[in-house]
Amino acid sequence: MIKFKSTKILVQSIVIMFIIILLLIIRITVKPSIHMISGNSMVPTVKNGDYVVTTKVKTINRYSIVVIKENNSEELLIKRVIGIPGDGIVRSGNNVSIVNKMIRNSDFLYNFRVSNETLIELRSHTHIPFNKYFVIGDNLEYSRDSRMFGLIDEEQIIEQVKGKLFPLSQFELLYKKNKATSNFFFY
């Protein structure tokens, strides 16, 4: 009986050590962070007061939700990547359309009304340049994004949102969302 208990304790100790080592490896290699959302620019995907888990960016894909640092500001913003390098830019008045040339039968456009500053920046471009991105909030009415401050540099994208952590009743992995499953609309 004593031998059985000591074997059981040894197995439990090994399992606990394995879990601790695994968690340390994940923490060291993935380096997740937790951020509390402040604001409504990404409603309905994430709301004011929600907590999200982020990791360092490996690759930036269309529809990824990212944490960015706006130029000349320490403020972090959470936005969705809509325009990626190589996408076409079509200007008409104060409207800008982002055209994805890679989609077959592409008459699919993202059309936005933009600020004069963004219009001036985009005037010299027919395509989104290398290492530049167009980002928006899912809640267009309440979002300060590329429509106001223009294209962002790749270096401004500091983390990618992987999931919504709290409230637990709304736990959701967000990194697998794409256009087909996202809850945002364009006008």
Q: Which residues are catalytic?
A: 41, 79
Which ranges constitute the DSSP H helices of the chain? Answer: 2-30, 116-122, 146-149
Structural tokens at position 55: 């990791």
Q: Round to whole Å and give the CA distance between 71 and 17.
A: 44
Count the neighbouring beta carbons within 10 Å of the beta carbon of residue 2: 6
Whole-number Å distance between alpha carbons of 41 and 53: 17
User: With 0-12 CB in 10 A as exposed, 13-18 as middle and 19+ as buried, what is 80?
Assistant: buried
Specify the 3-state DSSP secondary structure of 58: coil
3-state class (DSSP) for residue 86: coil
